[in-house]
Chains A and B, each alone.
Chain A
Amino acid sequence: MFLINCPYCGERDQSEFTCGGEAHIVRPKQPTELSDDQWAEYLFMRKNIKGVQFERWNHAHGCRKWFNMVRDTSNDKIHAVYKMGEKPPVV
């Protein structure tokens, strides 16, 4: 449990947010061209990093906007929060 600095609303309790998992997984441009292996990679395979991870969060019980976050999963420390479409910061 931790505090999240929503880029739209400011600092709020984590229980107001839902996590959308790993960020920057790009939806395939031409889904019909994909092999089964590529589909599996896109749908299921995750880095699941112990350490600094880039992920998507949604302020579900607030502004309901999506944004990205850089968090260390080994200690839940948040390094950066940035809006969708912005370039991921170097951490």
Chain B
Amino acid sequence: MKNKYSIFSLIKNAFSQHENWKQAWGDPEPKKEYEAIIIGGGGHGLATAYYLAKKHNIRNIAVLEKGWIGGGNTGRNTTIIRSNYLWDASAGLYDHALKIWENLSQELNYNIMFSQRGVMNLAHNLQDVRDLKRRTHSNRLNGIDAVWLNTDQVKEFCPIINTSPDIRYPVLGGTLQRRAGTARHDAVAWGYARGANEMGVDIIQNCEVKGIKRNGDQVEGVETSKGFIKTKKIGVVAAGHSSVIANMAGLKLPLESKPLQALVSEPVKPIIDTVVMSNAVHAYVSQSDKGELVIGAGTDAYVSYTQRGSHDVVEGTLKAILELYPIFSRMKMLRQWGGIVDICPDASPIISKTNIKGLYFNCGWGTGGFKATPGSGDLFAHTIANDEPHKLNAAFNLNRFVSGDLVDEHGAAAVAH
């Protein structure tokens, strides 16, 4: 690695007031032609380029980003990472990602601040209890760590939770995945960008894709705000805008794009050292290293690309948060924002070839894509390089909506979508 970060480089640069650090990735003009083009410079797109270069030796790649890298959902999510999914296909996919997360800082030589602080999912009614216990058993059969906690154990693990039996949604127990946790979202995009760029990948920001050129059933290139770029392979990782790109290629996808909101509070001293999610009341909370409470809300129930979201959604989430954590009643919220998430009818992603040669889609991550970033990039790179899916993403093909072989995580996941 040309510019390896270490304690020594940190000390060396301290002597020059940190003014001589080299740029971590370049800012090139696009070439006329690339072997592969990735549309979307978020975590998933940059990871795809990184693994294409690293594992499949395809280095003549451009990542096209219409804004700045990591400025979409990568920079807007609540950074939760877990793999406690019910179905075998999802468990395989998300645990593959979790295993990569565990060593990612070392691999990228970039501190992504991965913190395995555990994720706890609460049960508030008897059906929740049955569902979460079932999921715990299913997780353990798939080799994923999961334990069931009763109400007292929940209280012991996270003392600020109100476990009184008198509240509207009493806590009847919960599941805990200790290997789960959080990571610094921006650092994930930056780490992959730096790693990919070092292997020769061009990262082109402020470059919007305007059209996809096809010759019959084969892609020929992309029309962009910086001119036409020729290529035979296009990987689309455009999150909420996947349908917009698909429409350019004359494709329709089973997606609806909706605003998903999150908010952070003013920073306070450490008060919650884990991640707590609640399915029934749709509220989840963790605390960032800066001390802000990071709170995830739900989606609006209509298609919108506005990156805002409705006030009543946030209000509902905060009501639930206040009942579960009375200690937060006088906290002030600092910022609120929305990201556009592309949701599949079965709430599972699509990592797939299409019926157009050389056009691949990695989309449909809905409300929970961040946790899958390294695994998604790895498997999508495999799919693009070999023109065949890896066995871990074979179930997540586009054809499942025709065959009916859906991966129905809707409601089976740890948090309602």
Q: List the interface of chain A (C-beta within 8 A of B).
A: 1, 14-15, 18-19, 21, 36-37, 39-41, 43-50, 53, 55, 73-76
Please determine whether B303 and A73 come into contact, CB atoms closer than 8 angstroms: yes
In the bound complex, residues from chain A placing their C-beta under 8 Å from that of B257 are: 48, 50, 73
Which of B247, B305, B312, B403 gathers most chain A CB within 10 Å?
Answer: B305
Question: Chain B 259-295 against A: per-residue CB contact (8 Å), 1 yes, 0 no?
Answer: 0000000000000000000000000000000000000
Q: How far is the CA of A15 from the CA of B345 in the complex (A)?
A: 23
Within B204-258, which residues are at the interface with A (CB < 8 Å)? Answer: 241, 243-244, 247, 252-257
Q: How far is the CA of A14 from the CA of B302 in the complex (A)?
A: 11
Q: How far is the CA of A14 from the CA of B310 in the complex (A)?
A: 9
Does B306 touch A at the CB level, under 8 Å?
A: yes
In the bound complex, residues from chain B placing their C-beta under 8 Å from that of A18 are: 301
Please determine whether B252 and A53 come into contact, CB atoms closer than 8 angstroms: no
Does B311 touch A at the CB level, under 8 Å?
A: yes
In the bound complex, residues from chain B placing their C-beta under 8 Å from that of A53 are: 303
Query: In the complex, which residue of chain B has the Cβ closest to the Cβ of A17?
Result: B302
A48-B310 CB under 8 A given contacts A18-B301, A53-B303, A73-B304: no
Please determine whether B306 and A46 come into contact, CB atoms closer than 8 angstroms: no
B307 to chain A, nearest CB (A): 10
In the bound complex, residues from chain B placing their C-beta under 8 Å from that of A43 are: 345, 401
A50-B306 CB under 8 A given contacts A36-B403, A45-B401: no
Please determine whether B312 and A1 come into contact, CB atoms closer than 8 angstroms: yes
B37 to chain A, nearest CB (A): 21
A44-B303 CB under 8 A given contacts A14-B310, A36-B402: no
In the bound complex, residues from chain B placing their C-beta under 8 Å from that of A75 are: 306
Please determine whether B256 and A21 come into contact, CB atoms closer than 8 angstroms: yes
Query: In the complex, which residue of chain B has the Cβ closest to the Cβ of A13?
Result: B312
Which interface class (under 10, 10 to 19, 20 to 34, 35 or more) fits B?
20 to 34
B379 to chain A, nearest CB (A): 22
Please determine whether B304 and A15 come into contact, CB atoms closer than 8 angstroms: no
Q: How far is the CA of A75 from the CA of B244 in the complex (A)?
A: 15
Please determine whether A37 and B301 come into contact, CB atoms closer than 8 angstroms: no
Please determine whether B252 and A50 come into contact, CB atoms closer than 8 angstroms: no
Q: How far is the CA of A54 from the CA of B301 in the complex (A)?
A: 15
A47-B402 CB under 8 A given contacts A1-B312, A53-B303: no
In the bound complex, residues from chain B placing their C-beta under 8 Å from that of A45 are: 252-254, 401
Looking at chain A's contact residues, is the secondary structure mostly helix, strand, loop, or mixed? mixed
Q: List the interface of chain B (C-beta within 8 A of A).
A: 241, 243-244, 247, 252-257, 301-306, 308-312, 342, 345, 401-404
A48-B312 CB under 8 A given contacts A18-B301, A74-B305: no
Q: Would you give 12 A-B contacts (Cβ < 8 Å), ordered by A?
A: A1-B309, A1-B310, A1-B311, A15-B310, A19-B302, A21-B256, A36-B404, A40-B401, A44-B345, A48-B255, A55-B303, A73-B303
B248 to chain A, nearest CB (A): 11
Q: How far is the CA of A74 from the CA of B306 in the complex (A)?
A: 5
B210 to chain A, nearest CB (A): 13
B312 to chain A, nearest CB (A): 4
Query: In the complex, which residue of chain B has the Cβ closest to the Cβ of A1?
Result: B310
A19-B305 CB under 8 A given contacts A45-B401, A48-B253: no
Q: How far is the CA of A39 from the CA of B403 in the complex (A)?
A: 10
In the bound complex, residues from chain B placing their C-beta under 8 Å from that of A36 are: 402-404
In the bound complex, residues from chain A placing their C-beta under 8 Å from that of B241 are: 50
Q: Which 3 A-B pairs have the closest CB atoms?
A: A19-B302, A48-B243, A44-B254
Please determine whether B254 and A46 come into contact, CB atoms closer than 8 angstroms: yes
Please determine whether A47 and B306 come into contact, CB atoms closer than 8 angstroms: no
A77 to chain B, nearest CB (A): 10
